[in-house]
Chains A and B, each alone.
Chain A
Amino acid sequence: MSTQMNTPIHQSVWRAPELSMRWWPVFLRNLLVWRKLAIPSLVGNIAEPLMWLVAFGYGMGALVGKVSVDGTPVPYILFLASGSICMSAMQAASFEALYSAFSRMHVQKTWDGIMNAPVNLDDIVLAEMLWAAFKALFTVTAILGVMLALGISYSPKLLVAWPVLLGVGITFSCIALIFNALAKGYDFFTYYFTLFLTPMMFLSGIFFPLEQLPVVVRTISSWLPLTNAVELVRPLFMDQWPTHVLRHVLVLVVYTVAGFWIALALTRKRFRG
């Protein structure tokens, strides 16, 4: 047989994602592990955001009183709650798509084991992305429950906020998977949290309104994913519909699609031995 015709073609890592329903058993695998640890992980996931909310919301809230959102005065605790729940979605998704995904990918070699079965890498990355988003949704749901119990908001539009927050989880898990693909060890993720996520928390209108920031900072802020998430979620907490919905959704979609594509390409590169 001639070898000429059989020369293999090196496919670009940037080719379109090749996705199928084979992501589902991988997602189920993560779900089964998590089910064993769900209660302790629940405490860990929601205790910290709730402490921030209660300490800052009621403590600072007493000092600040009301905050103006597009001309509407709202109690500070409501202002903070509607922003910090976006932050919680971001952090839950990021944590899972970095530390936990890295453990499975690099430390435990779980992905290598899965790829010996008929599941390709693209489906594993998709499963990890959706899994991190699911973790974000779970965290957000628990926090929403506590917020309802505290009577922070009874807006019926919270039902809409819920899927929006799932979307926020998806966006941030896609972005985080880029850094997962590049990581050599856990230390790398500290940079991502301290240099990217933490500054973004302060520039996205979670703790204070953006109006008091310089114009340059506000312009940068308006393109950050977290700002756009907060702009969508906050009005829903106030029983209002958000404005410029299309713009905010579009920004999040661009981050999501670009993030997933880059994450997939870099992960393919990592595994292309």
Chain B
Amino acid sequence: MSESILSVQHLVKRYGDATVVSDMSFEIAPGECLGVIGPNGAGKTTTIRMCLGLTVPDEGLVTAFGLHMPRDALAIKAQLGVVSQFDTLDPDFSCAENLLVYGRYFGLRDAQIRERVPALLQFASLTHKANAKPGELSGGMKRRLSLARALVNNPRLLLLDEPTTGLDPQARHLMWERLQLLLAEGKSILLTTHFMDEAERLCNRLLVVDHGKKIAEGAPRDLIAQYLEPDVVEVFGAGALALADSPLKALAARTEVSGETVFFYTLDAKPLLQALAAYPQLRTLHRPANLEDLFLKLTGRQIREEA
């Protein structure tokens, strides 16, 4: 426990009658990437805000680098890098100026920052855009500039709130590459995301949260093994739904219906696939169980009204 770089214990946050974060506890070890996944409104951003001392919890304790939030907020933030859900880049400044101005907030001298700017721009693949303003950048470039800005103080821990939301696959992969480089350098990351492949690729450990509560915690593969059968067979097409209540059900450990698709979760897909051969008009997809299945199992398939 003394090893952990960030420790969150029994955090509670209420707004009026609504409890948005409830008994939230987790820790991050040096060099670890912890992912927080959960539907919109699950309390992810509120938890990050409490880690930053921007929202005062009703109960609980946040410590980072052996310092206490919010008492030592400034000392903690001096060692943090933050990419918030929405970009807060300065639209009137070029990329290089954004980095310079932000570095000053950390009390760094201009000469120190100017020395770092070329490497930061290179890291963000923005060297050719050094003099461009954020308005001239693509979504992916803006997010990378936000990441570079969060690195200006050479932080030990990064708090990234949905860093790839809204990006195209190319931009997302480039972001992942960069985050992997940072992890390889030994930095720690707290990451919230809606992308299960992102969580699986980057995170050593995951928290699944819903309605402000932690409902599961563990390494991605372990969580899948713990909660799900290893194989999934999806069946869709005319008449597929009838299968959910047919004798085929006995060939699966668990069956779920969502929209026009039936999901069979099974330990052994072979007998099921053989039986399905009798229904050539149906389309089937056989694949290993993944994080998305886990996420939907734990948080439900319903669209959240408040989302």
- Determine whether A110 belongs to the interface, using a CB cutoff of 8 Å to chain B: yes
* Residues 233 to 273 of chain A near chain B (Cβ within 8 Å): 271-273
* Pair A3/B88 contact, Cβ less than 8 Å: no
CB neighbours of B57 from chain A (8 A): 8
| Residue of chain A at shortest CB distance from B106 | A117
* Pair A8/B56 contact, Cβ less than 8 Å: yes
- Determine whether A36 belongs to the interface, using a CB cutoff of 8 Å to chain B: yes
Given A33-B90, A115-B54, A118-B78, A25 contacting B84 (CB threshold 8 A): no
Of B77, B92, B150, which is within 8 A of A118 by CB?
B77
- Determine whether B86 belongs to the interface, using a CB cutoff of 8 Å to chain A: yes
* Residues 74 to 119 of chain A near chain B (Cβ within 8 Å): 108-110, 112-119
The stretch from B58-66, B174-182, B298-306 touching chain A is B58-66
Nearest CB of B to A11, in Å: 8
CB neighbours of A119 from chain B (8 A): 74, 105
Chain A 39-51 interface mask (CB, 8 Å, partner B; 1/0): 0000000000000
* Residues 1 to 30 of chain B near chain A (Cβ within 8 Å): 9-10
Nearest CB of B to A19, in Å: 13
Number of A-B contacts (CB under 8 A): 89
Complex CA gap A33/B94 in Å reads 11
CB neighbours of B35 from chain A (8 A): none
* Pair A10/B56 contact, Cβ less than 8 Å: yes
* Pair B93/A114 contact, Cβ less than 8 Å: no
Nearest CB of B to A273, in Å: 5
Given A26-B105, A117-B77, A3 contacting B93 (CB threshold 8 A): no
Chain B 31-56 interface mask (CB, 8 Å, partner A; 1/0): 00000000000000010010010111
* Pair B105/A25 contact, Cβ less than 8 Å: yes
CB neighbours of B105 from chain A (8 A): 22, 25-26, 114, 117-119
- Determine whether B107 belongs to the interface, using a CB cutoff of 8 Å to chain A: yes
Complex CA gap A104/B80 in Å reads 23
The stretch from B96-104, B209-217, B261-269 touching chain A is B96-104
Given A29-B90, A109-B86, A273 contacting B104 (CB threshold 8 A): no
CB neighbours of A10 from chain B (8 A): 56
Complex CA gap A8/B13 in Å reads 11
- Determine whether A28 belongs to the interface, using a CB cutoff of 8 Å to chain B: yes
- Determine whether B70 belongs to the interface, using a CB cutoff of 8 Å to chain A: yes
Contact surface of B with A, Cβ cutoff 8 Å: 9-10, 46, 49, 52, 54-61, 70, 73-75, 77-78, 80, 82, 84, 86, 88-93, 97, 101-102, 104-107, 150, 153
Give the top 5 A-B pairs by smallest Cβ distance, nearest first: A113-B88, A117-B105, A25-B104, A116-B82, A6-B61
